[in-house]
Amino acid sequence: MKKIILVLLLVICIIFPLSAQSRGIVIPNLNGYVTLKCDFHIHTVFSDGNVWPTVRIEEAYREGLDAIAITDHIDWHPHSKDINGSHNRSYEVAEPTAKSRGMILVKGCEITRNMPPGHFNAIFLTDVDKLDKPGYMDIFRAAQAQNAFIFWNHPHWERQQPDTTLWWPEHTKLLEQGIMQGIEVVNGTYSPEAHQWCLEKKLTMFGNTDTHEPMQVFTSGNHRTMTLVFARNKTSEAIYEALKERRTAVYYNQYVIGEEIYLKELFENAVDISVTKTGNTARITFKNKSDLVFNLRETSHDKRLTYFRNYTLYPYVIRSQSTQTITVRLNDGIESGDVNFVIENFLVEPSTGMKYTVKI
């Protein structure tokens, strides 16, 4: 009987090897840090969402996320006729499922005010009920008393800032008082203004879904917007420390947005690059070991080198195309040079790709 079960298991593994490996997107770790896939802005029926908290865990587990925060509005409860009680309840309901799935669930909430200052999330709270106060500064103080991490949500939301994304004096005050520690650079869409503010004012970059409805099922190569956290290990404490140290990037619609120091390592750990030379021809082999896509475009370079104009490194899941060799011609007798290009979907400044050079 044991033998039959073993044979059956073997057959299942042979027939369904992809499904066994398909949970989660392969994104490399950095040197000394694990890359955790996180979504810190999620709603449930405990505010204006239409999904039960445990389902939020199952959705995130299915997509291979490591951590989520359920951030129901403290001040908006359209389902209160059927669902009421403590503001901690959505966390408490979801927590056992998170534990059984090996996922980190962060306790949080959304603070919902007109602009200024707009909406904010407070995460790593211990008791959300203590934030149920009328004045927003009192709420922020109560969150600070719990050592929460507080960030500005969707500054570019058209309902609040219809034509321009503005930074208000209230935001300067929140920054100066150490209340605002990050901004959503992506929530629905990308905000170049939020990206610029994070760089200038040394704030942590976030990309979250702010999902209210059930999550769609993503086909291979597609993904939810997420915050990549470069943490010392996969624990809640390590995520908190990484957020404080601004070690994050945003993964949105095949774009990665963040500080160059992290994006460069991400590229180098995702792609093996090797160069071979024969005569006046060099061949660069790019082996993409990740599920990230890299859109390369040539930039200014020594005109005696001829190489690609645009080039896409496809993700590892498209196996036949994950290793690519490109040819570089060395003209007029030169023996070496710099192949300069920009990775257009790796944004290191607002709407600006990351420069990279392969020496041949």
Distances (CA, A) of 196 to 66, 114, 190: 27, 23, 12
User: Please, how many CA atoms are within 13 Å of residue 339, restricted to the half-sphere of its CB?
Assistant: 26
- Cβ nearer to Zn ion, comparing 110 with 265: 110
Give yes or no for a contact between 114 and 160, defined as CB atoms under 8 angstroms apart: yes
Rule CB under 5 A: which residues touch Zn ion? 110, 119, 153, 210
Give yes or no for a contact between 224 and 39, defined as CB atoms under 8 angstroms apart: yes
User: Please, how many CA atoms are within 13 Å of residue 340, restricted to the half-sphere of its CB?
Assistant: 9
Shortest separation between residue 212's beta carbon and Zn ion, angstroms? 7
Tell me which residue of 296, 291, 295 sits closest to 315, measured CA to CA: 291
- Cβ nearer to Zn ion, comparing 153 with 227: 153
Shortest separation between residue 121's beta carbon and Zn ion, angstroms? 8
- Cβ nearer to Zn ion, comparing 157 with 294: 157
Phi, psi of 233, rounded to the nearest 5 degrees: -160, 175
Q: 352: part of which helix (H) or strand (E)?
A: strand 352-359
What interhelical angle do 53-62 and 89-100 show, nearest 10?
A: 40
Shortest separation between residue 94's beta carbon and Zn ion, angstroms? 16
- Cβ nearer to Zn ion, comparing 118 with 337: 118
- Cβ nearer to Zn ion, comparing 26 with 83: 83
- Cβ nearer to Zn ion, comparing 168 with 311: 168
DSSP structure class, residue 53: H
Shortest separation between residue 246's beta carbon and Zn ion, angstroms? 22
Give dist(CA 182, CA 193) in Å, integer.
13
- Cβ nearer to Zn ion, comparing 180 with 231: 180
Give dist(CA 6, CA 331) in Å, integer.
60
- Cβ nearer to Zn ion, comparing 112 with 295: 112
Residue nearest to Zn ion (CB): 119
Distances (CA, A) of 346 to 6, 124, 225: 45, 29, 15
Shortest separation between residue 43's beta carbon and Zn ion, angstroms? 6
Phi, psi of 10, rounded to the nearest 5 degrees: -60, -45
Shortest separation between residue 210's beta carbon and Zn ion, angstroms? 4
Shortest separation between residue 124's beta carbon and Zn ion, angstroms? 17
Give dist(CA 137, CA 212) in Å, integer.
26
- Cβ nearer to Zn ion, comparing 43 with 223: 43
Q: 142: part of which helix (H) or strand (E)?
A: helix 136-145
Q: 152: part of which helix (H) or strand (E)?
A: strand 149-152
> Which amino acid is located at 67 in the chain?
A
Shortest separation between residue 213's beta carbon and Zn ion, angstroms? 12
Q: 359: part of which helix (H) or strand (E)?
A: strand 352-359
Shortest separation between residue 306's beta carbon and Zn ion, angstroms? 50
Query: How many other C-beta atoms can be found within 10 angstroms of the C-beta atom of residue 266?
Result: 25
